[in-house]
Structure 1
């Protein structure tokens, strides 16, 4: 739930949120056929499911664990968290049902995006390693957009694409070297997003800056997730990596100009992608 201001009055919005939803929304806008695999439980789960199903195809797993929720106040132009309720951990049988749903949906689609819940402890890290390994070994291309120990676990499974925030990189490690290190997991491409700064991409042994047109941001939340969605779409559409990266840079740029997270039209993203530049990194700090 987000509180905005409209003509001096509170304007309350209720949305389906979370990394997976934002990624799915942008991928669908680009033209991908997307299936969201997710668990739904409690009052928050009921509301969430009703919000998602008119918009996206959903593989729903009914659980006893409640979905998380939060209230953000944006009336001053920035996000202030008023209250947040963490999601409940899933039981062993609920985890089995979720794993099965993601595995089968990923194998059918040929491309799977693995994102993480907002809260720790909802699913074990080992789920990401097993899913990544089982999907890739059976011909599915896996895109991971994770952090911390979840990212480490997924890398053990050998993903196709790794997209991370620069906050996941040690402060004393050059981004290019960090990207090359992550690529050692077997990933074909690694993308490190840097908020308002150009993202860094690493593929075929070379690091590049992904320079998008400078646009005034309304909300930076969801920009990285929109990039992930475009990379997944590029995989599904068999685009060369340079074209997929331009699409990703444009998707992230469009997203931050909008109040809705993971939103933007496919037409706008494609047109803006023509203005995205890929520049080989030559500075030591970028290597």
Structure 2
């Protein structure tokens, strides 16, 4: 089982336009609502692929009730932590060319007792889990070391600990030497303090973090695929999506596929290929939709026989 914690979940409202004009009156050609937030997306992708998961989420306000309903409708087992404030409603504007514009609210202010209740719920769910993944930004009022404070307590329950965040929460968590971190290209650059224009630079940064005691560093690179580094090996995989629809949640689906592979004791390279397949399949779907097994089977990721170290990223 894979447990996720999403301290700042949302209801995601995706609106599809045939064209975008700033300041105009725009009429949507399609729209959808999904349960959102990085860890929520991970659990949704796992559940859609018949993998056991539990999503720990704070729930408050009308949006919180809607979030719980949406999770139930998609078959995600969830543990709700009641809070007094209303969770976020995020809006994504999708254009036919594949461009996505996101409008994210900050989230509710959580009290100390509400934050502690999230920690307690996560630790309870961690008993018997293969992985606990803590994901995303933190709402106002939550200490930036909440992920770091969970690391050893999760591992004491026999689960491995994964972090997918950015900024200060990620930096604090890295000091605890989690079993896995999954930054994207920009988050990794921010973490190491300098730009990473090529795959060689990303590999060097990943190996630096591995040498500090992190077992697995997996870096999502958008259309350039993903790189994974451990103490003993480094692998790169990518897939081509000819008609991208939405990038919302693609990195979360990549993490879901990767953790699913690792929890199934697949070799590192196969787990990465699976992660890239899940993430790439998500790009071909609207809004923050997560891929089903049929969607994943339509993707054919390739594992680089040799690392393309000179690859310039983002081009």
TM-score (norm 1): 0.88
Contact 2:57 2:80 in 1 (8 A): yes
Q: Does 1:216 align with 2:228?
A: no
Match of 1:4 among 1, 9, 16: 16
Match of 1:14 among 10, 33, 37: 33
Please give the secondary structure, in 2, of the residue aligned with 1:15: strand
Distance 1:48 1:85, change over 3 A: same
For 2:268 and 2:302, how far apart are their aligned partners in 1? 13
- Number of equivalenced pairs: 282
1:56-75 → structure 2 map (5 Å cutoff): 56-74=76-94
Deviation (angstroms), 1:100: 0.5
What corresponds to 1:277 in structure 2? 303
Given that 1:247 and 1:270 are in contact with CA atoms closer than 8 Å, whether structure 2 keeps it comes out as no
User: Helix, strand or coil: the match of 1:108?
Assistant: coil
Q: Judge conservation of contact 2:41–2:252 (CA < 8 Å) in 1.
A: yes
CA contact (8 A) 1:215 1:253 kept: no
Q: Report what 2:229 is aligned to.
A: 202
Q: CA deviation at 1:259?
A: 0.6
Tell me if structure 1 keeps the 8 A contact 2:129–2:158: no
- Aligned counterpart, 2:3: none
What is the CA–CA distance in structure 1 between the aligned matches of 2:48 and 2:308, rounded to whole Å?
35
Whole-angstrom distance in 1 between the partners of 2:298 and 2:162: 24
TM-score w.r.t. structure 2 length? 0.81
Question: Over aligned residue pairs, what C-alpha RMSD do you find?
Answer: 2.4
Unpaired segments of 5 or more residues in structure 2? 1-12, 19-26
Residue pair 1:206, 1:280 contacting (<8 A) in 2 also = no
The 3-state SS of whatever aligns with 2:16 is strand
Q: CA deviation at 1:172?
A: 5.1
SS of equivalent residue, structure 1 residue 280: coil
- For the pair 1:79 / 2:103, whether they are aligned, the reply is no
Residue of structure 2 in register with 1:35 after alignment = 54
CA deviation after TM superposition for structure 1 residue 79, in Å:
2.9
Change (3 A) 1:156 1:223: same
- Aligned counterpart for 2:264 among listed residues 226, 229, 237: 237
Report if aligned partners of 1:163, 1:193 keep a CA contact under 8 Å in 2. Answer: yes
Matching residue of 2:292: 265
Superposition deviation, residue 101 in structure 1: 0.5
Superposition pairs of residues 62-141 of structure 1, within 5 angstroms: 62-74=82-94, 77=97, 78-81=99-102, 84-117=104-137, 121-141=140-160
| Match 2:164 to one of 145, 150, 154 | 145
